[in-house]
Every structure is written in structure tokens, then in C-alpha cells.
Structure 1
């Protein structure tokens, strides 16, 4: 087994020979996957390096040191991680590498208008028909649905059993006549979310992840990886459709002459502290996952990042001052502050609402009593629901 220093030197040598900020992203990701650095914790048969956690972290740190993307996907790529855990050998052979190289576009087909935050209550059905399942239903709040190649679909395959046991999980092909995508316009004017109508859509049985009726278990794994990504860095909440990323708040404070303001400095220090604590919490959650168990700490990280994003918008508006009442290209700082404040709300929804994260934290971390579920053991077809 290589020492930490040997791993660090090997990665540095490889990066020095291959990394170029001007390189085509697809070409770069292909090289990272081939070298085993995209998923350093995974087995070599799955494009990994089979490194223990401390050395895998060294790989990620070396990539971050030179600003090279692509490493650490064994923690943050929810599509590939879920596929590796539950996909068949044939499905992994077909899609795992393209997912790691970002050659397959994905979306999440979970939430429904009538299910609220209770994903076990989804009513979209998947009925066997030969080598396929026929899917009918509606999904909502689906990011990137218009351009997706596949949707990770949670659907009901057996309504005669209790709601958690009658679900199955699929990779649904999105480019077919039975899939209609309609954008949902946000307060920022963008349309990150969509509603998706499924009418006689077809998904091969070979695209099922896990066994029939095992969909809830697969979903929990997928949600855990999604919360890891959202908990570590929710860049989507601060990045605009035009590609402009998050504002450097310290630089903003200097430009507006607020860097000596005691209250602004306090707020900036608080944000820095929150990010540090969240990073430590995510490391703790990762250590638990390395021991083979899912971690409710992911919910704590996701909830904390939601707070950080909202706080960032508030502090950004405070720095800009009255200009935050304005928008448009003539007032770029005010426009960005408005965007940061309004767009922060979607981070309170994606990956499970803030309220759901608080329930998980209360029940699984603090040991508080579970909320009552009168329909938990009732066959789903007998559960009362609004027409």
C-alpha cells in the first residue's frame, strides 16, 4: 500500500502532465476517469483507485489546489453513486462511465403535486408490459428536465401494499412521445424547475435500479448523495443562467466602502464560521458513510447550507444598501443582491425541504418522537386522498 506522501506525489505528477485550464472539459473528465481519480474510493473495476478515505481526500485536495474539476465524484455524483449501488451489471456497463464524464444529462422525477413532501405518497404508476413498464402520472419541481437524457423515476408498481413497499426506481428515457415537459417560471425570471407529464411513457425493465418494490430504499440512497452535494456547496443557488457565479462578499464590501463597518464584518465572520462548521459536519458524515452506514448528518449539512445561502443573500443586500432595491444591468450589484436573496428559496426545497430536514434531525439525531403516520401500514390503494 502506498504512503500518503507517495499518493500525493503521484497525483501532483499526473496533474502536472495532464492539467491545462484551457483543455476541453469532456476530454479532461475522460482523462480523470481513466486515471481513477474521478472516484478514488471506488474499486478499480468501477473506474476507481480503491484508496482509503484519507488518501482519497489527498487526491481531491490536490485537484482543488490547481483548480482542476472532476475528482470526488464518489461523494457528490448522485446519479453515478446510486447506479453503482443498485444498478445491474448491464446498466452500469452502459451508463456509469458516461455519467462520470458528464456525457449523460439527468433529472430527478420524484416530487408530485399531490404528494407534498411525503415521497412515499407518489401516485405515478409503472405497470409491467412485456419487457417494459408503462408509466402514467405527473412530476413537479424537476430541474433540467427539458434537456435530460434520463430521469431518475420513483413510481408505484404495487398499490396493494403499504406505501413504502410498493415503489420501484427506474432510469426513464426522457426523449419519447409520452414525456411532456413544461417550464415553471421563478420569481427571478429563470425557469430551473419544470413539471413533467408522463402519459403512456415506457421504461425498459432492465432500467430498474434494485428489485421491484425496493424503490424507497434506492430513493433514500439517492437523497443522501444529493444532500451531500447540496450540503457541501450549493452553487446552483447562487449562479445565474448567464453563468455569473456567486459574488465575493469581501470584495463587494471593499468596493462599497463597508469593509470597516463593524456589523458587516461581524456578518462576514459569521458566514465564514458557518461554512467551517458545515465543512466539519460533512467530514463527520463522510466518516460514518465510510463505515457502511447512511448518515442523518447529511440532513444537518443540507439544512446548514440552506441557511448559509439565505444569509449570503441577506448580507449581500446589507452591503449594497439602497442599491439592493434596484435591478437591471445599470445597477449590477443591486441586481446580483436581488438575485441572491430571491433565488435562495429554491435551496430550501431541493433535496427535501428545510422542514423535512428538521424532522429527520429531530427524530434520528435528537431522538424525538416520530410524527404520527396513520396510513403507514395501510395498502396504498385504500389510503384516502383528495380527488
Structure 2
């Protein structure tokens, strides 16, 4: 096998990073096994350790090579791809992974429902078999980017005669088939990156089922753990909300008071500890799939984003009183940092909901990491159809 840097050299020699269109360059990167080097050969990887991906990314970024549009296809890159490698059929892997990495096909996530947000296992959207197809009816909510998506990862109930965790099945859904209605959900920021999605008689072929019938919870758990790693484990020092604040500190002497200095150092240290913990978590992934520890990363990220965005308002209170155009827009990406400090403060409120609420993260940490007694669950062991609602 050629050396990793030799592969990067060959990619750059055959595809000029300054003139090659993004989709073509990323497709070639995938074909060279440089998309996710820890994925298997033939699926955008080389079967190497996860940590070696930084060798590829650093080199490509240094020469200004096109990069995946993470902001627009975060669900695909961070959640659908690792789930597809873990549970998808070979046909699925060959069909979806390359265009997913090239971002020519955008993905969204159809998990949460109005009555099953924090309790994902309580989803009521039904998928009923009909020959070699499934007919899906139900409603999903808080679907980021559904208005831009080509495909969705979907969890639906296929058996109501068993307890809630056992009756779920996981599918890939084409977002342009008949029976799908997407409605915007306007947020406190004025934007509508979230959506509610109505499914009425939507037909999915059984070849688009991921994993076995009734094992949707197992597949979804892998997806969610990868999501929480992606949300909570940034790998750049002073990225995110703390990066915005430190930039302001360096360029504006007026904010450099002793009190502000003490608070800035407190939050810089906490976010740096979280970053380093994320590095350790990613190294732990070398020996297995993400575990419940990823919930701690997500919880810490949400708390810090909200606190640091509030501190940014304290540094610039006059800027917090102004706001950009509040007319509703349907953004192409869900930006956590866009616009001014007022926008960042409001947008950060969603961090403790998306990807699993902070309350649920605390339960997971308590029960599955610390080994504390679980909460009482009155629906445990009861068939889903018999649970009062």
C-alpha cells in the first residue's frame, strides 16, 4: 500500500486543488481512500487508525483544497456515514457514501416526534410492510435542513406488540418521493433551519432498511453517539464560541478588565479541557463504537456554548441590543456562530435540545457511565400498544 502522504501527493498531482470543482476533488479523495482513513478500503478509507485523518486534512487545508461542506451536510458526514459503515449493506455503502462525502447529496435526520423528543424510543410513526415495501405514516419534528435534503435517516415503529425499544426499524428515505410535506419551524433567531415533516403513505423499498427489522434502536444508538461526538468534540483550539470571545479580547483593549479577564480564563480553561477530553474520546473510538461517554461531551458543549455566548454579550452590551434582519429565512446551513453576539446568544439556546436534551444526557451519564440506579420507567416491559398516551 502506498504511503499516506504519497497518496495525498498523487491526489494533488492529478487534481489541481485550485481549479478542480469541489465535487470532483472530493470524489477523487474518496476514491483514494482519503475521505475517512479509518473506514474500510473501498469505502473512502484505508483501514488505518482514526487519528491519521488529521495528516490528510492538514495537508489538504494547507494547499487550499476543497473541503466537505460540513455546515450543510453535518447529518450525512457525522451521522449517516458511520452508521452506514456499521450497519449498511454493501449495496448501500457503495450507493451512498461517495456522493455523501462529495456533498452532492445532502442528508437530514427524521428521529424526533412531537410526543417523542427526549424519549426517542417512544416514536409513533408507523412503517407497515406491503410486499417488498414499507408504508410510512407519521410526523417528525426539529428536522434540521430537511428543506435542503436529498435523503433522510428515519426511525419508525414496525411492531407495537413488543416494548418500545424492541419495535423500531431504521430506514433510508428519499426526500423527493410522494407523501412528504416539509413545513418550516421559525426559531427565536428568526431563521427556520428546523422543520416539521409529515409522512403520509410514504413508500420505502425494503432494500433501504438499515439493519434487521426490530433492531432500529441499536442502529439509532450508534447514530446518536456519533452525533454527540461530532457536536461535543471540536478539535481546534479556541474554536466555536470561545474563539469569537478571545478574538474580541485581543483586538479591543476596552474589554480587558480584571473581572473580564478572570471569567475569560475560566471559560477558556473549561473549553480547553472539553477539547482535550474529546481528543481522548476519539482515540478511544479506535477500539469500538462511540459509547455513553459521548453524552458528557455533548452536555459540556451545550453548557459552555450558552455561558460563553452570554459572556460575549457582557463584553459588548451595546452590540447585543442590535440585531440583524429578523425576517424569516430558510438557511442553507445551521450556523452556530453567524451574525452578531445577539444571534449567537439566542442560537446557543438550542444546543441543550438538539442532539439529545441536556436532561437526557445527565440521565445517560448517571446510569450508564456512573452506574447509578436508573429512573423509574412505568412503561418498561410493556407492549407499546398498551402504554397509556
TMscore range, shorter length: 0.7 to 0.9
| Partner in structure 1 of residue 91 of structure 2 | 90
| Partner in structure 2 of residue 47 of structure 1 | 44
| Partner in structure 2 of residue 336 of structure 1 | 340
Q: Which runs of 5+ in 1 are unaligned?
A: 240-244
Deviation at 1:356, TM superposition (A): 1.0
Deviation at 1:15, TM superposition (A): 7.0
For residue 171 of structure 2, give the secondary structure of its aligned residue in structure 1: strand
| Partner in structure 2 of residue 279 of structure 1 | 275
Deviation at 1:375, TM superposition (A): 0.9
1:347 aligns with 2:343: no
RMSD (Å) for aligned C-alpha atoms: 2.9
TM-score by length of structure 2 reads 0.86
- The 5 A counterparts of 1:1-387 are 7=4, 9-10=5-6, 13-14=9-10, 17=13, 18=15, 20=17, 23-63=20-60, 65=62, 68=65, 69-70=67-68, 77-233=78-234, 248-328=244-324, 336-385=340-389
Deviation at 1:254, TM superposition (A): 4.5
Q: Distance in 2 between matches of 1:14 and 1:100?
A: 19
Q: Deviations over 1:214-252 (max 9, x none)?
A: 0000000000111111112499xx99xxxxx99732332
Which shows bigger deviation, 224-233 or 156-165? 224-233
In 1, are the aligned partners of 2:235 and 2:275 still within 8 Å (CA)? Answer: no
Mark the CA change 1:261 to 1:27 in structure 2 (over 3 Å): closer, same or farther.
Answer: farther
TM-score by length of structure 1 reads 0.87
Q: Deviations over 1:121-171 (max 9, x none)?
A: 010000001121000011111111112111111100011111100000001
Q: Distance in 1 between matches of 2:277 and 2:170?
A: 30
Q: Distance in 2 between matches of 1:347 and 1:278?
A: 15
Q: How many residues align?
A: 370
For residue 77 of structure 1, give the secondary structure of its aligned residue in structure 2: helix
Q: Distance in 2 between matches of 1:291 and 1:341?
A: 37
| Partner in structure 2 of residue 242 of structure 1 | none
